[in-house]
Chains A and B, each alone.
Chain A
Amino acid sequence: MEYKITLRKQFRALRFLIVGSILFSIAIYTFFSKVGYDPDIALFFFIYYLAELVPTLFVHIEYYLINKNDLFTLNSIQRTFSFDDRDAISFDQIEIIVLVLSPVMYRDSNLRFFPFDSYHYAVIIMKDGKRFVITNLMTFRIDLALKDVSGVQIERRRRFIASPSLYRFWSAVWN
């Protein structure tokens, strides 16, 4: 199986934000039609929307920059994977795969609370210390794609926002 970023996958990742924004706009219009326009409540809506929009776009752009031109190929029969048409690497050379998920994805819930809840990524850590990062812009459900990777330990970690840079930041702060 080959995985890479496509426009369709990007829209799939942003679907919650796009559909949510349309429904939210309709809800705001209906609300103000009923009670009349109030600039303070409009400011409240604006701040709320920014709080949803900014982290989602941040994670999306970050994921895009990480895997922009990457091609991840997984061969479950030969038990190998490759990045960007380089030599195939055996699954045996993988030390561990760390799968970073949002809390709702961590407990396999289908319900999403925030637009950034569906964003997740995996770090393939090799025995020689090399690291490869796969984000869900390459495949919408990495956990399902990784089912083809047999005989490798997969560690699931829970983060409120599954962002590699925020993860590094918080790790540096707490350690």
Chain B
Amino acid sequence: MNDYVSTALAVTVFVGAVRIGTPLLLAAIGEMVTERSGILNLGIEGILTFSAFIAFVTVDRTDNLVLGVVFGALAGVLVGLVMAVLTVTFKVEQVVAGLSLNLLGVGFSFYLLRAVFDNAASDLPSVRTWDVVAIPGLSSIPWFGEVLFTQHWLTYVAFAMLPLVWLVLNRTGFGLELRSVGDAPGAADLRGVSIERTQYAALAFGGFAAGLAGTFLSIFSTGLFFPTIAAGRGWIALAIVIFGNWRLGRILAGALFFGYLEAYQLTIQGQGTDVPQQLLLALPFVLTLVALVLNRTRSNVPLHLGVPYLRGQR
């Protein structure tokens, strides 16, 4: 018993929590921005898979990690824009469009994987990964230095996004326009705000952030790609946005919580335990539901979320 507690407090578990929480944080920030513009993008899981694959292939073929990040992020933007074409231009039901992009994103990755690597799924190569960057000075602070300042550079980017996104959403004209498009598109339209352009931008940003998250999975943390690499993280990110009540602080807390959970599970699994592995694997999904049940404040939900805007119709 004592063992579980001391593991729960170990520094390495907290280090892992921040690392594993990074893709969740990135994807959830992007989804929050997208949803603020009134579009529900359910395709996150597909974007994670697709961009993880593109980043992986890029590094495998060019051995260039920077290029891997660039193409991984662009892959995310691409899927985001396809979602925009479907939902903003053609007004396809958002739930349906998001689901189909999920299936397509995973399907595409699986096909290309087999096509690029000659059907040899059993001995896939692993690729180089980014090294951890210790921030000079800050990383020598006890505990915090290790947990917060000895991470991947993309983790720092994710954390830096929090104040930036907050500023853009709450202190700029564009942010005001974006939120008004999600809350009252009729009024925004009347004021001359282009609904379509705003939602395209929001979906592109959401895709970009999810693309970075997928990239993190393949060429930062594992160096591998397999079709189930996203493992439900896209869906958990969606849930984090909901029980985070569309607020960045609570989204950060949610991402770190689920990161911690997985880090803890991986550690005690590594130590060997009597608790069945499957129970531990199911735990994050059960806790997601528990979190949604316990935390039912939805005061910040964009009022027009999921409703296509048709001028002249209510």
- Whether A associates with B in a native complex is no
Question: Which residues of B come within 8 Å of A, CB atoms?
Answer: none
